[in-house]
Amino acid sequence: MVTPSLTLLNNAIADQVEQHFKRYAGFVSASFHASDDGKRVINYAQWHSKEFSTLVLSVLLEISANHRRDRRATQSYATGE
């Protein structure tokens, strides 16, 4: 069942692909699949080669680690820890 929140999530993921992933060399396409219950969305990205997908994955992991570090630092500052 497609719910309004699932539609919002799908649109947000599509926006991220448009703004970020498409700029990486080797990007081919992205597909989105929603679960039957409407609670999950899977983003399946295709790349020209394994090398391109590995490069992008390493960049995304670094970005994710930086976001977690920044969030912890912000929370520590806000709580005075």
Higher pLDDT residue, 76 or 62? 62
| Separation of alpha carbons 48 and 54, rounded Å | 11
Neighbours of 34 (CB within 10 A): 17
- 19-60 residue pLDDT tens: 877 888 899 988 877 777 777 778 788 999 999 989 988 988
The answer to whether the beta carbons of residues 10 and 44 sit under 8 Å apart is no
The CATH number given to 4-79 is 3.30.70.100
> What are the φ and ψ backbone dihedral angles of 29, each rounded to 5 degrees?
-165, 170
Instruction: Please tell me the pTM assigned to this model.
Output: 0.57
Structure tokens at 29: 């396409």
Structure tokens at 8: 């919002």
Listed by start position, the domains of the chain span 4-79
**What is the per-residue pLDDT for 78?**
67
**What is the per-residue pLDDT for 52?**
92
**What is the per-residue pLDDT for 17?**
78
**What is the per-residue pLDDT for 28?**
93
The answer to whether the beta carbons of residues 41 and 13 sit under 8 Å apart is yes
